[in-house]
Amino acid sequence: MRSYDQTNFNDRLKTAATAKQAILEKFRARPAADDPAVLERQAALKAIAEAREARAAERKAARAAEAERLAAEKAAQAAREAEEAAQALALEAEQQARAEALDAEKKARALALAAEQKAARDARYAARKARRR
């Protein structure tokens, strides 16, 4: 803890005045706006800001390119899925057509067999009738 200084009012005024004077001198010692060091610093800050903007523009362009690439991939995937679905539908239709053709052929054979059996039965019936007469 600091010990209490035994200073009077004039000493405190003098200390405050010297502090104000130091601040004023520091302000006056500041370089002018047309000083080469100030101009160089401003140019460096401007270059940094421009580089920052260029990097931000690059990031934005990269994000846009990535979004476009993803959209193209999605479209290609959707096209592949649609093609696969169309192929599956075509295969299913072909299988159904084969099944229907097989069913039709079975029905035709069954009808032919029934007609053949009826013809044989009719022939036996006619032969039996002919023997009785």
**pLDDT per residue over 60-108, tens digit each?**
999 999 999 999 999 999 999 999 999 999 999 999 999 999 999 999 9
Q: Can you give the pTM of this predicted structure?
A: 0.47
3-state SS class at 114: helix
Let me know if residue 3 belongs to a domain. Answer: no
CB 44 within 8 A of CB 50: no
Let me know if residue 4 belongs to a domain. Answer: no
Helix H, strand E, coil C: the string for 55-99 is: HHHHHHHHHHHHHHHHHHHHHHHHHHHHHHHHHHHHHHHHHHHHH
31: left (phi over 0), alpha (psi -120 to 50) or beta: beta
**pLDDT tens profile 15-65:** 999 999 999 988 887 777 788 888 999 999 999 999 999 999 999 999 999
Let me know if residue 67 belongs to a domain. Answer: yes
Specify the pLDDT at position 32. Answer: 77
Let me know if residue 2 belongs to a domain. Answer: no
**CA distances, 51 to each of 2, 38, 47, 54, 62 (Å):** 51, 20, 6, 5, 16
- When divided into structural domains, the chain yields a total of 1
Specify the pLDDT at position 3. Answer: 56
Let me know if residue 1 belongs to a domain. Answer: no
Let me know if residue 70 belongs to a domain. Answer: yes
CB 41 within 8 A of CB 49: no
Specify the pLDDT at position 4. Answer: 61
Q: Which amino acid is at 94?
A: E
Which structural domain range is residue 114 located in? Answer: 9-132
Q: Which residue has the higher pLDDT, 5 or 83?
A: 83
Let me know if residue 41 belongs to a domain. Answer: yes
Banded model confidence at residue 1, pLDDT cuts 50, 70, 90: very low
35 alpha carbon, distance to own chain's centre: 52
Specify the pLDDT at position 109. Answer: 96
Q: Which residue has the higher pLDDT, 10 or 90?
A: 90
